[in-house]
Structure 1
Amino acid sequence: MKHYGIILLTLVLCLIQSPTTARPNKPVAFLLNGQGNIFQSFDGSEWDKIDRSKFLFPGSYIKTGPDGSCQLIFESFDHTKYIENNSQIKIQDDNIKVLSGKVKDKQKVYSFMENLKRKFAIIQKYTTVHRSAGSTKKILELPDSLALCDAYPTLAWENCGSQYNYKLTIQNKTYTIPKSNEPIIRFKLKNITPGKHHYQISVMDNSVLSCKAESTLNWLSIDEYKPIKSKEENLQLINDQGFLLGNLMDENGLKVAAIDYYIHFFETENNTDLIPFLAKIYKELKMKNSLNKQIQKFNKKL
């Protein structure tokens, strides 16, 4: 049955991405922050209710009820398009056609649709379950690259097991992290100078070394974080529960912050369609157990 699920997923993705189908390879808009009754149609006559954020393709229609509203992100616009109540629009290649009601510019979003479209084309490769080789030996893996900063100082790695404690060495200091039942170990760093730093994490079975791993992180300076913060403040005004903020953090290498924003988004909105965006981060952070849990959630909807 598991093999059947993978085959079915592959067929579905082929249908989504095949240039011979009516649906284009990439979306042109992203609907978010929906309130009240919102509906979508592919022919303008049969309507399905929308209850989550989603990508939109040319030719589809959106309408809002008396209590409905939503925002759309387009690659060709620097601002979100706010669809007011009792409105109907048609999605075009790089614009919207207002059929009734009102549409206005809302919040500045820079080039986020471009980023989302690029990721949309590649994230499906993160939906294959990764199986272990069967070894019982604990191996800690760390990401090849990672950014942190004063605003987002938390270092994270996958827990090798509740029986293990950890030692973290960075900038000539060693910290002891106690045992935990949490799937991900988190440690908030302090007083780290801007720039690249080598760090090492030792997995300890009480006082006995089980394994260790090394990597490098980049601590952003105040000036490096400023443009990120500016975009972050604009996105917070949209109040989309964290999906766009997760994308922003991902784009700037702040992967742990991206996880936290995505997790908050999925806790707030039941949206399995967007799980591959979170799976991508888990893959890059080499958190295999967390990655596989998200993939299994995604595959259940097929």
Structure 2
Amino acid sequence: MCREERMGKTKAGLVGADMEAAFEVRNLSAFYGRKHPKDSGNIVLRDVNLVIPAGSAVGIIGPNGAGKSTLLRALAGIIPSEGEIYLFGESLAEKKRREIACCCALMSQFFPVGFAYSVRKTVEMARYARGQRGIRDRMVVQRSLEEAGLQELVDRPITELSGGQLQRVFFARALAQETPILLLDEPASSLDLQYQAELAELLIRWKKRQTTLPDGRTVPNTLISVCHDLSLALDLSDDLVLLKDGRVLAAGPGDQVLSRSLLQRVYGMDVPAYMLRREDFWKTLIARET
């Protein structure tokens, strides 16, 4: 369960880092622009406090501009932030970039395609953080390509792919990074219904696995995904974190966070809970394809 802020009220007084948490976030503010927010940088997140247990599946939701992608990027350590982030009980700020890359893989919603690398070469880049070139690397890359349904595209330059195909390539690269944490930003935004269903099924299977950290600890896999699609967020997640204006408005089980009153407050429209559930749809579609 996420330790939460309810309606902007933060829980304070956390003592010590939680070794069993994938992430522990304390008083996090993140920003773009200058080095410090007080120097008129653009603050996007404000005083966020969360604990995300290892082995959980957390969906980050909210309207445009709420800070969802920024929170993912802060957890990955790639944007300036203030406050504290602990990754498996250790300060993120004290970790090297390669150490972070061995613990969490980020799939952004924006894909760099400046070079005409092949699909296979693009996915192989995920193994660079491991500093190895061997049989296991080739096996992991091949498995990731197969899980993403890219077997027939392995030699195709990524500059020749459709948006949906490109999205699957970078998802395969995140899998090939072989980390216990996946940070996915709109993982199904360019996928058709069939691939959305397959992605949901793959992620559910992936979360049941365990991964060994560089220090030898074996931990359960943790999924953190940003979703505009509230139905997909419910399907993929145990808990939801609802952001608005850079703050955590609510966090906890999806059926509690997605109350009609709260959705009305955030989105300005009435969304009955029964409209959000698509589990039967996914199960029917997956069964049809197997």
User: TM-score, with normalisation over the residues of structure 2?
Assistant: 0.28
State the TM-score, normalizing by the size of structure 1.
0.27
Higher RCO (CA 8 Å, separation ≥ 6 residues): 2
Who wins on radius of gyration, i.e. which is larger?
1
